[in-house]
Structure 1
């Protein structure tokens, strides 16, 4: 397999780049594209699912985006060290009944020497919201470069008192 830069060990700048590349890929909602950044034997924990291997991850992503419609995501670097990156994220989506949700979470990633993700551990909470409470309004696809990240948007605005 060809290297997938940036490669570990990560610097702050390369970790931020890796996070944005992941965000852009996930915002494509293309399982064929997304699955290519994982090792063949990648191991995940995503809520109560534990897919192992690219084929299982691909099937997971197909199910995910069949349910989570008009999905828009922002990821932000939280911490990094050597071959590991921690991110926080928020995404908005609606189901087939039109109910909107805001999903908040954290992910811990571990990469191999070639820059492929070996492990992904995600903790996610879904919050029903009204359509008028949505914050992410860019056209489907990658977040525009000029759109603020979570810190600039004010991540605290996503919690209710």
Structure 2
């Protein structure tokens, strides 16, 4: 898999799909430093009701996220692309320290600079409490989603 910044705009279907999968793999590592390197130094985020500015703030945000969202597993799917922008739909599952499992559904809008770093991310996310038996994503935590069989994002 290419490094995320090897994939630069303008995007075609193959490079946009590869960019989404590279982001998914990085986020599934739950490594805030690794993930933050895909964002420009002055990247701006809207994540739910939070606004985050800059790579260091993104790193801190992600570190806090993965301290509370345990056994995190994420799937991203390319929705659309054009030039230096990509739209993604995603789902992820995690549990809290108290044992409550959650599935989060959402959409992200991404904008990249010429070097392939994300300079803008807007995420709209909805959460659904689930039971452990309702989980869909059961590959080992901290690793990439298996390539086969192909997993499909579901609405419910």
Q: TM range, normalised to the smaller chain?
A: over 0.9
Task: Tell me the TM-score normalized by structure 2.
Answer: 0.95
- Across the aligned residues of Structure 1 and Structure 2, the Cα RMSD in angstroms comes to 1.1
1:144 CA drift (Å)? 1.2
- Structure 1 residue ranges without an equivalent (≥5): none
Alignment match, 1:25: 26
Correspondences of 1:7-22 after superposition (within 5 Å):
7-22=8-23
- Asked whether 1:136 is paired with 2:149, we answer no
**Which secondary structure does the structure 1 equivalent of 2:50 belong to?**
coil
Q: Equivalent residue for 1:115?
A: 116
Moved over 6 A (4+): none
1:85 is matched with 86
Is residue 2:136 matched to residue 1:148? no
CA distance in structure 2 between the partners assigned to 1:28 and 1:68 by the alignment: 13
* Distance in structure 1 (CA, Å) of the matches to 2:112 and 2:7: 11
Residue-by-residue CA offset, 1:53-102 (whole Å, 9 max, x unaligned) = 01110110011001100000000000000000000000000000000000
**Helix, strand or coil at the partner of 1:50:** strand
Partners of 2:5 and 2:65 lie apart in 1 by 25
Structure 1 distance, partners of 2:117, 2:95, is 30
**What are the Cα deviations for residues 118-140 of structure 1, in whole angstroms up to 9, with x where unaligned?**
00000001100011000100011
Q: Deviation digits for residues 16-51 of structure 1, max 9, x if unmatched?
A: 000000000000000010000000000000011111
Secondary structure (helix, strand or coil) at the match of 1:138 reads coil
Q: What SS does structure 2 have at the residue aligned with 1:58?
A: helix
Aligned length: 152
Match of 1:62 in 2: 63
Q: Report the Cα distance in structure 1 between the residues aligned to 2:59 and 2:140, rounded to whole angstroms.
A: 24
